[in-house]
Structure 1
Amino acid sequence: MRLASLLLLPLLFAAPIAATPVTEDPTSPMPMPLTYPTTERGDVTETLFGEAIADPYRWLENDVRNDPKVAQWVAAQNRVTDAYLDTLPGRDVFKARLTALFDYERFGLPEAKGGRYFYAHNSGLQNQAVLYVRDTLAGEGRVLIDPNTWSKDGATALGESQPSEDGTKLLYTIQDGGSDWRTVKVLDVETGKPLEDELKWVKFSGFAWAKDGSGFFYSRFPEPAGGQEFQALNENQAVYFHRLGTPQSADVQYYATPETPKRGHSAGVTDDGRWLVIYTTEGTDNSNEVTLIDLEDADRTPRKLISGIDHEWSGVGNQGTTFYFLTNKDAPRSKIVTIDVAQANPVPRDLIAQDDAVLQGAGIVGGTIIASYLVDAKTEVRRHSLDGKPLGAVALPGIGTAAGFGGDQDDAETFFAFTSFATPTTIYRYDVKTDRATPWATPDVDFDPALYDVAQRFYESKDGTRVPMFVVKRKDVTGPAPTLLYAYGGFNISMLPAFSASRVAWMEQGGVLAVANIRGGGEYGKTWHDGGRLANKQNGFDDFIAAGEYLMAQGITGKDQLAIQGGSNGGLLVGAVVNQRPDLFAAALPAVGVMDMLRFDRFTAGRYWVDDYGYPSKEADFKVLRAYSPYHNIASGKVYPAILATTADTDDRVVPGHTFKYTAMLQASDIGDKPHLVRIETRAGHGSGKPTDKVIEETADLWAFAAKWTGLEVTAP
């Protein structure tokens, strides 16, 4: 079980049209400054560590669903933004092409239980993927759950799903309007009908069936106070067992830490059904404690196996009382150890030593340890016997990203997905015994990868650090050309090669895509992560600025041709570097960004992020945060690039107040006449579960805006 970040934003980005250019008359004068809505400026000022901090737009932190004044502000901002976007001639071209590019079959990884195969499928333009089941791998699939019938606007999504061990039941979650909250239900697989079971107040939870199918383990928070479900801090998460056919009020609590309410807990059951393994975290770091409960023990007494939230301990599997863990203790690029839990004081023993490559994850399938590594931000998959002996690498279809390889320890098969910037995601079946992969689902996309060039380059950052960056473009495009530069740079999350229909739409018009693997991510392990967080956060900003300078120095892009984009922590990145180097960029697209670094920890999941950002309440951390907080460092008197910020009203991960306040400050500042706008989606959240039609609409707006301000000539068929 690899612990997941609570700030990850899915990539929602995405290419050959020819014919008539749709551009504005180059002799036209610069547009007149936009008339922005009037935003009330409050007088809130707080003295923090001897400094008076003005927060004039604090009232915009209020929940848009419950505060009519904020709702009016949102409506007024959207009217101005929509009116401006309506003037962009490339918008309709992008929308039409994106619609065509998205119209292809997409499959999720199959999960095999009880001889059945469960998988997600989108026929192309469906707003939400549909869950199917097959009785044999080659058989016909039948629909189990079609979330497209759940709401008229397509914004109610199927979240997680997990079949029982015998494949007769399926637990699934409902995500409404992009919120992180989940409603949990159970389906009878044979009849396709839901049972009466329903669970509430579930968020950031793992799910684990009891092997006898009697019920499942999950994690939940206490019910928030009325009206606070999208704002209140998430604390006091606990692990429960739900027995099928009983109300949630009867669920048995298995593990909680009320004395430390900030700790979160997620549970899994070992393949042999004996052990409940509980992973306890406090933030977003890959650091956790491990607690075991022997389910064969009538007392179910928790036993602390790993104490202290200091290192990562991610379960790989077990053979009886021998547990296999991936850990970064004494191994910043991670290794695999064994622990014999039959011992009174078990000691971890090295099994697979740290490598020059970064160990990303591992599992036991078919009696073999299958481990995924990163080598310069590209995937390698290696096999080992249970005693640690190398068995060779899994042959992948090319250079790119492979993900999957899940399953039970005695499964003879597993599945993985492979993708790269020019390779649409393909699902493969992998036979563990023969070490052979065969395609299971191959997409048919209106896209010719032979027309594109994918290169990995390395450049020097401000302090001399060597940073990798992928550069993708049509082979016939010569520089300098309009370029979209993307990065994330946080929470140990790696930016890996992946196909995106959205990005293809940008590239086929002649735009260049650059993805920089800046510090703060996990591309080179713990050292790379540590090098771009807390007091080192500026290193990531410097890496991103250096990427832009490199693209210009190499003639890939030119002055007034560089647009930058990032989401969530990447939205923070974009906001910070625009403040620091507004002269370098022609356009900026910060999405769902963390923009107020002095108050981020006061809302929903924000408290988890102190692992990467630090504590605003601690003076040393405050000084670092104050120095780069996007909201607090907008520099009047400088000419800023064109900015189109995006957020959504139901984002309860990074609450939209961050972007609201940032936008208000931009519009009130003397930073030039280019547009500084916000696009606020309704019934959408941080990214997951967003309907296909909303993705297409939003991306068309973003690309048209970036094209306008980088000089990309958009051509219509």
Structure 2
Amino acid sequence: MKKQFFCAAAAALAMISAAPAQAQPQTQDDPYQWLENIEGEKALDWVRAQNARSQEALEADPRFAPMYEEALSVLTSKARLALGSIHNGYVYNFWQDDEHVRGVWRRASVESYRAGAPEWETLVDVDALAEEEDRNWVWGGVDCLSPDYTHCMVELSDGGSDAAFWREFDSSDKAFVEGGFYIPEGKSSVAWLGPDTLLVGADTGEGSLTTSGYPRTVRRLARDAALDEAPVLYEGEETDVAVAAAVEQDNGGAHVFVVRSPSFFESEYYYARSEDDALGDLEKLPLPMNADFEGVLGGRAIFLLREEWTYDGETYESGAVIAYGLAGAEAQTVMTPAANQSVEDVEIGKSGLVISYLEDVSGKAARFTPRKKGGWKRKEIGLPDNGVIEIISAGGGTDDAMLSFESLTRPEALYYAPARGKLKKIAETPAFYDATGVVVEQRFATSADGTKVPYFIMGLDSVLKQGNAPTVQYGYGGFLIPILPVYYEDPARPQHGALAGLMWVKRGGVLVLSNIRGGGEYGPKWHQAALKENRQRAFDDFIAISEDLIETGVTSPEKLGAIGRSNGGLLMGAMLTQRPDLYAAIDCGVPLFDMKRYNKLLAGASWMGEYGDPDIPEEWAYISKYSPYQNLKAGEPYPKVLFYTSTKDDRVHPGHARKAAAKMDGLGYDFFYYENIEGGHGGTANQDQLAYRTALEYAYFARMLMPRSE
């Protein structure tokens, strides 16, 4: 059970309304603060004008149209793997293609799925629902009561924002429940306690949210009861980041946890066992503040430690997976990763764990089963080497698991790993591009402080041998998130193999993935090395890779571009203001940019554990050295930047990108700007919009790094 406050995926708790940000008082030294008024007519007029200018220019490039068709062919392909999780004899999957633009939530029997011929039945058709209800519905996710998986809460947002509605759905009837549970639009979290009871974190009026804008209370909501009158199970502090509940079903009993997060990376865990829906007193568990709760197995709570923990005379290392006995209060080590390893995911089956981990940024996976006499038995799962492994499903009332393997040049393959028996490949995505002649290498650059930093380089062998190639370098470097060499995992990030190979590498470009500090490639220590006052290390790592690419002849400053989004957009801002001499193009997506005010805009206050508090002079002293907005100045060799964001992004405020572009304009620099009016933090609301934006990005790089005369 991971914290997903910030990037990539749906962030159930990372939510706050836009209104408070629009109410912030004008500062005397920021003439562009009016652009923080998200839906203000003046601001939107500015957005429309910038969109029209930039879209016209980029669409005019003759490479844009074919790039758009290429992106669309991948993103809407019916040949993509339909990945899903096992629950009570079914595999559940959410699917989008050219016929299902908004998507369908569906299921197939495990037997048909395992045989490679899934017989799908649709549960929710989001396109049909949007048309029927005349709403711009975007799928958010689903939470169902185990083990039956009949009672479900479906999350839908209007336009793709984090703020969403929760509605009860019956998977047996394949219909929304008339008069069932309903949580109005907001940044809410839900967990099933029983078929007639939810534990809910939601905005119920004054005092119910933290200063970061997340739910401050967990309420016990009975069927047919009013949300604002539901009894409070737990109330956190107003200064906390968030409070949420989790309910784990284990051997016929429910284990209830309340998670209080005083800061982004710190959590306190409170526990109560549910007996016939009756909860006893919540007991605070003696876990360290920096630990991730993964679930319950046989009365043991499974945690992934993000810091060293000394308990009952034993010391457990940072990065280790431990099992804590909820009845006997004893702790056991399940797995302690080596120095070059990092635990990525822990999934809980019927009687054991499946753990995926990295070893020098290469994927591995293993099963762990508790021994009767103590300790844990480990058995590696024999998946291919030199790629990315993801646990697709483990549990759902079985010890069978499904895992995927992929690399930048190798399409995603799905493997069925039965509790007993041989590993079997059951499906594989066909190649989305011809990888003949494409090579991938892992290299290491030396950062400013002497640290060896890995990176992946992908290009045609002939192009790499010739040298001085148009090159796009991707980076993120934050929030423990590793950058992995995947073929097609997160289509919102166009640097991955399928899209980059088809749209960039086959045109003679080179792709580079940077595994800089701040990420999770080598576990918590790799992340912590770039926190707060040490943020510059992440920037230095990215610069070191850029310099290594130039020194080894892969590219030159005239042909090197950089790309990053969200926290990676902050990285791009730092590259722009610190080393503009290294880059001929910078793609800066849904960025953090004004670090003086980031904690006052939308979900920004929750990230002070990552960056620091700009309102504390000692912390602003180091933030101010890299905050891109404050460090923009005239007379610098800035490349022509592409900024993009989304009006509906209620996680990272679109004002960051707007103000960055406006200030550059005021300083006399040209730029490209694109703001989708919907789409949330992903920047798009459907596959067509994503294909369009991806084509804009690669057309931009082609324009800047591959002049048409070549």
- TM-score tier after normalising by the smaller chain length: 0.7 to 0.9
SS in 1 for 2:307: coil
| Structure 2 residue 152 is the aligned partner of structure 1 residue 166 | no
- Give yes or no for contact 2:448–2:540 (8 Å, CA) kept in 1: yes
Deviation of the 1:449 alpha carbon: 3.4
1:611-630 matches, within 5 Å, as: 611-630=609-628
Please name the residue that 1:490 is paired with.
478
| Structure 2 residue 325 is the aligned partner of structure 1 residue 340 | yes
Please name the residue that 2:491 is paired with.
none
SS in 2 for 1:306: coil
Amino acid at match of 1:157: V
- Give yes or no for contact 2:243–2:258 (8 Å, CA) kept in 1: no
Please name the residue that 2:16 is paired with.
none
- Give yes or no for contact 2:96–2:103 (8 Å, CA) kept in 1: yes
Report the CA distance shift for 1:677/1:123 in structure 2 as closer, same or farther (over 3 A). Answer: closer
1:508-657 matches, within 5 Å, as: 508-657=506-655
Report the CA distance shift for 1:128/1:265 in structure 2 as closer, same or farther (over 3 A). Answer: same
Deviates more, 1:139-148 or 1:531-540: 139-148
Query: TM-score by structure 1 length?
Result: 0.86
Distance 2:9 2:344 in 1: 19
Deviation of the 1:85 alpha carbon: 1.9
Deviation of the 1:173 alpha carbon: 0.7
1:458 to 437, 440, 444: 444
- Give yes or no for contact 1:179–1:685 (8 Å, CA) kept in 2: yes
Deviates more, 1:479-488 or 1:84-93: 84-93
Report the CA distance shift for 1:652/1:239 in structure 2 as closer, same or farther (over 3 A). Answer: same
Deviation of the 1:328 alpha carbon: 3.0
Amino acid at match of 2:336: A
| Structure 2 residue 295 is the aligned partner of structure 1 residue 301 | no
- Give yes or no for contact 2:212–2:240 (8 Å, CA) kept in 1: no
Distance 2:695 2:463 in 1: 22
Distance 2:9 2:177 in 1: 32
Tell me how large the CA RMSD over aligned residues is. Answer: 2.8
Deviation of the 1:347 alpha carbon: 5.1
SS in 2 for 1:88: coil
2:159 to 177, 181, 202: 177
Deviates more, 1:693-702 or 1:162-171: 162-171
Deviates more, 1:703-712 or 1:334-343: 334-343
- Give yes or no for contact 2:471–2:512 (8 Å, CA) kept in 1: yes
Distance 1:136 1:244 in 2: 32
SS in 2 for 1:295: strand
Deviation of the 1:101 alpha carbon: 3.0
- Give yes or no for contact 2:123–2:174 (8 Å, CA) kept in 1: yes
1:23-422 matches, within 5 Å, as: 54-63=29-38, 65=39, 67-105=40-78, 106-123=80-97, 126-138=100-112, 140-151=119-130, 156-164=137-145, 165-196=147-178, 197=180, 198-203=182-187, 205=189, 207-210=190-193, 213-222=195-204, 233-244=212-223, 248-249=227-228, 251-258=230-237, 260-272=239-251, 273-285=253-265, 287-296=266-275, 298-306=278-286, 310-320=289-299, 322-330=300-308, 333-343=318-328, 346=329, 348-356=331-339, 357-387=341-371, 388-404=375-391, 406-408=393-395, 411-422=398-409
Amino acid at match of 2:357: Y
- Give yes or no for contact 1:236–1:256 (8 Å, CA) kept in 2: no
Deviation of the 1:458 alpha carbon: 0.7
Identical positions, percent: 27
Distance 1:615 1:317 in 2: 35
Distance 1:325 1:232 in 2: 28
Distance 1:80 1:278 in 2: 50
Distance 1:426 1:176 in 2: 34
Amino acid at match of 1:690: A
Report the CA distance shift for 1:108/1:221 in structure 2 as closer, same or farther (over 3 A). Answer: farther
Distance 2:614 2:519 in 1: 22
Distance 1:148 1:452 in 2: 38
In structure 1, list runs of 5 or more residues that go unmatched. Answer: 11-42, 47-53
- Give yes or no for contact 2:197–2:222 (8 Å, CA) kept in 1: yes
Deviation of the 1:354 alpha carbon: 4.3
Report the CA distance shift for 1:389/1:114 in structure 2 as closer, same or farther (over 3 A). Answer: closer
Deviation of the 1:368 alpha carbon: 2.3
Distance 1:677 1:688 in 2: 16
Distance 1:714 1:305 in 2: 65
- Give yes or no for contact 1:128–1:154 (8 Å, CA) kept in 2: no
Q: Deviations over 1:492-548 (max 9, x none)?
A: 111112114332211221111101001111111122111112011011111111111
Distance 1:70 1:355 in 2: 51
SS in 2 for 1:488: coil
- Give yes or no for contact 2:476–2:519 (8 Å, CA) kept in 1: yes
SS in 1 for 2:542: helix
Distance 2:243 2:602 in 1: 13
2:693 to 666, 684, 698: 698
Amino acid at match of 1:491: F
Deviation of the 1:163 alpha carbon: 3.3
Deviates more, 1:253-262 or 1:650-659: 253-262
Amino acid at match of 2:651: R
- Give yes or no for contact 1:125–1:692 (8 Å, CA) kept in 2: no
Distance 2:446 2:676 in 1: 38
SS in 2 for 1:508: helix
- Give yes or no for contact 1:414–1:429 (8 Å, CA) kept in 2: yes
SS in 2 for 1:572: helix
In structure 2, list runs of 5 or more residues that go unmatched. Answer: 11-24, 113-117, 309-315, 488-495
Distance 1:589 1:615 in 2: 27
Report the CA distance shift for 1:213/1:441 in structure 2 as closer, same or farther (over 3 A). Answer: farther
Please name the residue that 2:3 is paired with.
3
SS in 2 for 1:666: helix
| Structure 2 residue 500 is the aligned partner of structure 1 residue 503 | yes
Report the CA distance shift for 1:688/1:279 in structure 2 as closer, same or farther (over 3 A). Answer: farther
Report the CA distance shift for 1:183/1:232 in structure 2 as closer, same or farther (over 3 A). Answer: farther
Distance 1:155 1:108 in 2: 24
SS in 2 for 1:686: helix
Deviates more, 1:394-403 or 1:607-616: 394-403
Distance 1:391 1:588 in 2: 45
SS in 2 for 1:627: coil
| Relative contact order, higher structure (CA 8 A, sep 6+) | 1
Deviation of the 1:148 alpha carbon: 2.3
Distance 1:464 1:240 in 2: 51
Report the CA distance shift for 1:333/1:482 in structure 2 as closer, same or farther (over 3 A). Answer: farther
Amino acid at match of 1:557: T
Distance 1:259 1:392 in 2: 45
1:426 to 398, 410, 413: 413
Report the CA distance shift for 1:651/1:473 in structure 2 as closer, same or farther (over 3 A). Answer: same
Distance 2:683 2:220 in 1: 26
